Amino acid sequence: MTALDPAVQNGLEPVGLSLAGPADYFDLLKPRVMSLVVFTALVGMVTAFASGAEASVGLAAISLLAISVGAGASGALNMWFDADIDAVMERTSKRPVPRGAVPPAEAAALGVVLSALSIALLALSSNYVAAGLLAFTIFFYAVIYSMWLKRATAQNIVIGGAAGALPPVVAWAAVTGDAPWQAWALFGIIFLWTPPHFWALALRRTIDYERVGVPMMPNVAGDRSTKLQIFAYSVALSVGAVAVQPFGLGGPVYLVASVALGAQFIRLAWAVLKSADGDGRTPMKLFGFSILYLFALFAALLAEGLFNLLSKAIWA
Amino acid sequence: MTDEDRKRRKQRNLAIAGALGAFIVLVYLVTMLRIGATVAGGG
Last residue of a domain, one of A158, A178, A198: A178
Interface pTM, i.e. ipTM? 0.87
| pLDDT attached to residue B43 | 61
A204 and A113 in a common domain: no
A62 and A146 in a common domain: yes
Q: Please indicate whether, in this complex, the C-beta atoms of A59 and B34 are within 8 angstroms of each other.
A: yes
Residue A230 lies in a domain: yes
Residue A71 lies in a domain: yes
Q: Which 3 state secondary structure label does DSSP give A216?
A: coil
Residue A182, pLDDT above cutoff 90: yes
- Using only C-alpha atoms, what is the Rg of chain B? 18
CB A86 within 8 A of CB A214: no
CA distance A118 to A134: 8
Last residue of a domain, one of A178, A201, A228: A178
Q: Which residues of B touch A22 (CB under 8 A)?
A: 11-12, 14-15
Q: Which domain holds residue A72?
A: 21-178
A204 and A106 in a common domain: no
CB A70 within 8 A of CB A137: yes
| pLDDT attached to residue A8 | 42
Q: Could you please report the per-residue DSSP string of A68-97?
A: HHHHHHHHHHHHHHTHHHHHHSTTTTTSTT
Residue A6 lies in a domain: no
A213 and A110 in a common domain: no
Question: Which chain A residues have any C-beta within 8 angstroms of a chain B C-beta?
Answer: 3, 5-6, 17-22, 25, 56, 58-59, 62, 65, 117, 121, 124-125
Average pLDDT, chain A: 93
Residue of B nearest to A24 (CA): B12
A171 and A188 in a common domain: no
B1 interfaces chain A, CB cutoff of 8 Å: yes
pLDDT band per the 50, 70, 90 thresholds, residue A255: very high
Nearest to A174 by CA among A72, A55, A68, A69: A55
A302 and A220 in a common domain: yes
Q: pLDDT (tens digit, 9 = 90+) per residue, A184-195?
A: 999 999 999 999
- Using only C-alpha atoms, what is the Rg of chain A? 21
This prediction has a pTM of 0.91
A169 and A91 in a common domain: yes
A226 and A171 in a common domain: no
What distance lies between CA A236 and its chain's CA centroid?
20
Q: pLDDT (tens digit, 9 = 90+) per residue, A257-296?
A: 999 999 999 999 999 999 998 888 999 999 999 999 999 9
Residue A207 lies in a domain: yes
Q: pLDDT (tens digit, 9 = 90+) per residue, A73-123?
A: 999 999 999 999 999 998 899 999 999 999 999 999 999 999 999 999 999
A239 and A200 in a common domain: yes
Q: pLDDT (tens digit, 9 = 90+) per residue, A193-250?
A: 999 999 999 999 899 999 999 999 999 999 999 999 999 999 999 999 999 999 989 9
A82 and A36 in a common domain: yes
CA distance B3 to A303: 50
CA distance A55 to A134: 19
| pLDDT attached to residue A278 | 83
| Nearest CA distance, B37 vs chain A (angstrom) | 8
What distance lies between CA A150 and its chain's CA centroid?
15
CATH of the domain at A26: 1.10.357.140
pLDDT band per the 50, 70, 90 thresholds, residue A315: confident
Query: Total structural domains in chain A?
Result: 2
| pLDDT attached to residue A301 | 98
Q: Which 3 state secondary structure label does DSSP give A10?
A: coil
> Average pLDDT for residues A297-311, to the nearest whole number?
97
Residue A16 lies in a domain: no
A66 and A93 in a common domain: yes
A173 and A26 in a common domain: yes
**Element containing residue A16 per DSSP (H, E):** strand A16-18
Q: pLDDT (tens digit, 9 = 90+) per residue, A130-179?
A: 999 999 999 999 999 999 999 999 999 999 999 999 999 999 999 999 99
Rounded to the nearest 10 degrees, the angle between the axes of helix A181-202 and helix A156-165 is 140
Residue A7 CA: distances (Å) to CA of A16, A17, A18, A137, A308: 12, 12, 15, 43, 63
